Chain A
Amino acid sequence: MIPELGHFALILAALVSLILGTLPMIGAHTNRQAWIAVARPAATALAMLVTFSFACLTQAFVANDFSVVYVAQHSNSLLPIEYRVAGVWGGHEGSLLLWILMLTWWAFLVAVFSRELPDTMVARVLATLGLVGFGFLLFILLTSNPFERLLPGAAEGRDLNPLLQDPGLVIHPPLLYMGYVGFSVAYAFAIAALLSGKLDAAWARWSRPWTMAAWIFLTLGIAMGSWWAYYELGWGGWWFWDPVENASFMPWLIGTALIHSLAVTEKRGSFKNWTVLLAISAFSLSLLGTFLVRSGVLTSVHAFATDPRRGIFILIFLVAVIGASLTLFAARAPKVGLGGRFGLISRESLLLTNNVLLVVACATVLLGTLYPLLIDALGVGKISVGPPYFNAVFVPVMSPILFLMGVGPFARWKEASIPEIAKAVKWALAVGVIVAIALPLLYGQWYAMTALGIFFATWIVVTALLNFIERVQHTRAGRGFLATAASQPRSFVGMHLAHIGVAVFVVGVTMVGSYQDEKDVKMAPGESVDVAGYHFTFNGVKAVEGPNYVAAQGDFDLAVNGQFVRKMNPEKRNYHSSAMPMTEASIDAGLLRDVYVSLGEPIDRDKPEGEWAVRVYYKPFVDWIWGGCVLMSVGGLIAMLDRRYRVKARAAANLPAGTQEA
């Protein structure tokens, strides 16, 4: 009964989203107040209906209702409760439902927090979100109904893919989807601006916090996925240039370009068309990502068993959204205008360079991801584009971005002078070069790439500090240094914190890439192995029992300089319900390094108490990779909470009626 209610709520939601997508849109166009007023209540109703539907599916999982096909395929009565809840988004149908849940909640939040915005603007934004929601609801109802019944019901479920039975999975998809779907708000704002033809600083100020919020979630979601791959896939990598990872990375690159471009649009009124185009691109790439992942054209851990109808539906939807948006853009962009002028060397031009480079970076990822698909579709052959391609392309494209990150904050708007900037950053350059030469030498091996990475990281941190100090000195006006420092605008503090996050990330990538050490060895109980000064002694393997699996648990002693540090217990698990073995690595995490042990297989399958193939890793600074992402997100959050988004937004709403879009 409850699954049917959930299904019914979804059908109602589709109807409501159609109303939300049409009435307020027409109302805004023809200036009918009553139709415009439909937007907020419809968005609220939509969010409530989808939430109810989602709750129904969750209930089916919690109650082990195996008469629902989706539950029978992705759960099991032995599955712990937290994974039964996470199992809701463990498969195709449920993850789409999560997608649409996020979309309707974003729309709901826009409806709640948009009191300062003109009603026509809100109507257009919510209507755009309603139309996107309608497309996805149709998709769920027509091709991927999670509430489909199994008659007669199964006695037991097939269980959740063991790879997904991990706390990381509970958080990763929702975070990632919040980011993906969050760009729909930036997109809706862009579409509303195109429709009204009015794109000004106030518009940019409204869009910025929403875009920033989506970007924060996407950053955390990607970082979480990377961290999960690191510890759960068991083989110590943190990024594989897997097409699905790329699918989430592309919107991130464009989203990063967008938040910088929005800054220019807000402060200087420039880059208007460009900003709109980026907002459309970011969301289109989110849709493309969904298409790539869900259609089964890609093969990866994320690809679920697929049905070609689904791929075709998303493809049509993708083409419709991108086609309609770009047509609208072509028709209306001249009305929106380019915006203010700026000098050849100015903060605008530096940010434009940043934008071009980020877009180029995204294009290279897109090429590397789609090229094998294209070759395959043309029937020329099957190829794979591997990590070396991406690494070879990414370093030269990202290097100038990292360099500009240090220069940009010193450049004045409109017209900057190179000597002035050079004077401000010369010490940062000196410190960067010294650290870049010295640090790799201290680590024993000097590589040019290591020095380059360390240089950029130092450069970014020192320039950020210099810029911060300079600004504090300028704005002191007789107050104490600390008091002035504490009263800097949040957007300024957030920007530098996020940039320092990038530096931290770069340190992690550089150090782990240069100095990691790994050994694959055969170990008998009592034997030991050394990696980078860490001494591992293998004491054998014992059988342990988990809630829904049995595992062989290795017992290792970790020692440094003859001093015992800790026990490490990696596991090889066998889940009851599926024949899949699973590797659970044991990681000793630290600020400056991780050491990592994984069990391979017993050398003789019939003697698990004997010798095992074992992999041990030394991973310097690897946690800085994710730490850097967290800093970027915190920086974004601080910037998003800047006072002016509230104060001035209210002031803008109090402008005389004539200046608002009628």
Chain B
Amino acid sequence: MKTRHKKLALIGGALAIIGIIAALVLNALNSNIALYITPTEVAAGKAPQGKLFRIGGLVKEGSIQRQADGVTISFVITDTAKDIPVAYKGILPDLFKEGKGAVAQGKLDGAGTFVATEVLAKHDENYMPPEAAKAVSDAQAGMSANQHVSPSSAEAAKTGN
């Protein structure tokens, strides 16, 4: 074989390998990405059906309940605007607490309960997962925007008169 042919074969082989791997990566990426959805978005019906996704927010005070089997736990994740009931079978992370931030990964069941396969809390007592923090701040921004709208529109109405 000529050197030029050898080079071409090498380059062709490398390109083929990279092509196969690129296809593989894109396929894997496509089927294994979990979107973050805030509780408000879930309540608005924006959650994907039958697909894994993540929700973040605060664990609502007084919402943690243990089922009779002792290892199935239900709780509520809230972004302070909307609440989503969550069910999880397993042992919760050490820092999972009421009133603290948490992120859960799972799917919605037919009844609107989020069935979590994984619950993440972080490794520092003062730490808030950014996804949870964002869900809460988005919801609060939404609410305060609404509150601002009402008085100012009332005022606009008044001055209009």
Interface residues, chain A, with chain B CB atoms under 8 Å away: 161, 163, 234-235, 299, 301, 341, 343-344, 349, 352-353, 356-357, 360, 364, 367-368, 371, 381-386, 388-389, 392-393, 396-397, 520-522, 578-583, 598, 600-601, 603, 611, 613, 615
Task: Please list the 8 inter-chain residue pairs (A to B) with the smallest Cβ-Cβ separation, ordered nearest first.
Answer: A522-B70, A382-B36, A600-B91, A392-B28, A389-B32, A388-B32, A301-B123, A520-B71
Contact between B70 and A603 (Cβ–Cβ < 8 Å)? yes
Contact between B91 and A598 (Cβ–Cβ < 8 Å)? yes
Residues in A neighbouring B3, C-beta threshold 8 A: 341
Contact between A382 and B35 (Cβ–Cβ < 8 Å)? yes
Contact between A397 and B21 (Cβ–Cβ < 8 Å)? yes
Contact between A522 and B71 (Cβ–Cβ < 8 Å)? yes
Contact between A356 and B6 (Cβ–Cβ < 8 Å)? no
| Chain B 62-93 residues near chain A, CB threshold 8 A | 66, 69-71, 89-92
Contact between A520 and B91 (Cβ–Cβ < 8 Å)? yes
Contact between B29 and A580 (Cβ–Cβ < 8 Å)? no
CA separation between A175 and B25, bound complex, in Å?
Answer: 32
Contact between B32 and A580 (Cβ–Cβ < 8 Å)? no
Contact between B34 and A368 (Cβ–Cβ < 8 Å)? no
With A161-B123, A386-B32, A580-B124 known, 7 other A-B pairs at CB within 8 A are A367-B29, A381-B35, A382-B134, A388-B32, A520-B89, A520-B91, A613-B91
Residues in A neighbouring B71, C-beta threshold 8 A: 520-522, 600, 613
B18, B70, B92, B105: which has the most chain A beta carbons within 10 Å?
B70
In the assembled complex, B154 has its CB within 8 A of some CB on chain A: no
> Is chain A's interface secondary structure helix, strand, loop, or mixed overall?
mixed
Contact between B21 and A521 (Cβ–Cβ < 8 Å)? no
Assess A582 versus B94: contact at CB under 8 Å? Given A343-B6, A356-B14.
Answer: yes
Contact between A392 and B34 (Cβ–Cβ < 8 Å)? no
Residues in B neighbouring A578, C-beta threshold 8 A: 125
Contact between A234 and B1 (Cβ–Cβ < 8 Å)? no
CA separation between A396 and B18, bound complex, in Å?
Answer: 12
Residues in A neighbouring B92, C-beta threshold 8 A: 600-601
CA separation between A128 and B122, bound complex, in Å?
Answer: 39
Contact between B94 and A344 (Cβ–Cβ < 8 Å)? no
CA separation between A460 and B105, bound complex, in Å?
Answer: 38
Contact between B70 and A383 (Cβ–Cβ < 8 Å)? no
Contact between B33 and A389 (Cβ–Cβ < 8 Å)? yes
Contact residue among A353, A360, A385, A583 (Cβ-Cβ distance under 8 Å from B29) = A385
Residues in B neighbouring A603, C-beta threshold 8 A: 66, 70
In chain A, what residue has the closest Cβ to B135?
A382
In chain B, what residue has the closest Cβ to A234?
B94
Contact between A613 and B70 (Cβ–Cβ < 8 Å)? yes
Contact between B21 and A360 (Cβ–Cβ < 8 Å)? yes
Residues in B neighbouring A598, C-beta threshold 8 A: 91
In the assembled complex, B141 has its CB within 8 A of some CB on chain A: no
Residues in A neighbouring B129, C-beta threshold 8 A: 299
B90 CB → nearest A CB, Å: 5
Assess A357 versus B28: contact at CB under 8 Å? Given A163-B123, A381-B36.
Answer: no
Contact between A344 and B125 (Cβ–Cβ < 8 Å)? no
**20 A-B contacts (beta carbon < 8 Å):** A301-B122, A301-B123, A341-B3, A349-B10, A357-B17, A360-B17, A364-B25, A382-B134, A383-B34, A384-B36, A385-B29, A385-B32, A386-B32, A386-B34, A389-B33, A392-B27, A393-B24, A520-B91, A522-B69, A603-B66
Residues in A neighbouring B122, C-beta threshold 8 A: 299, 301
Assess A389 versus B29: contact at CB under 8 Å? Given A396-B24, A582-B94, A613-B91.
Answer: yes
Contact between A371 and B134 (Cβ–Cβ < 8 Å)? no
CA separation between A381 and B48, bound complex, in Å?
Answer: 14
Assess A360 versus B18: contact at CB under 8 Å? Given A383-B36, A389-B28, A522-B70.
Answer: yes
B7 CB → nearest A CB, Å: 9
A575 CB → nearest B CB, Å: 10
Residues in B neighbouring A397, C-beta threshold 8 A: 21, 24
Contact between A580 and B94 (Cβ–Cβ < 8 Å)? yes
Contact between B33 and A580 (Cβ–Cβ < 8 Å)? no
Contact between B70 and A521 (Cβ–Cβ < 8 Å)? yes
In chain A, what residue has the closest Cβ to B71?
A520
In chain B, what residue has the closest Cβ to A342?
B6
Contact between B130 and A299 (Cβ–Cβ < 8 Å)? yes
Residues in B neighbouring A381, C-beta threshold 8 A: 35-36
CA separation between A181 and B89, bound complex, in Å?
Answer: 43
In the assembled complex, B54 has its CB within 8 A of some CB on chain A: yes
Residues in A neighbouring B89, C-beta threshold 8 A: 520
Residues in A neighbouring B134, C-beta threshold 8 A: 382
In chain A, what residue has the closest Cβ to B56?
A382
Contact residue among B18, B91, B95 (Cβ-Cβ distance under 8 Å from A580) = B95
| Chain B 108-161 residues near chain A, CB threshold 8 A | 122-125, 129-131, 134
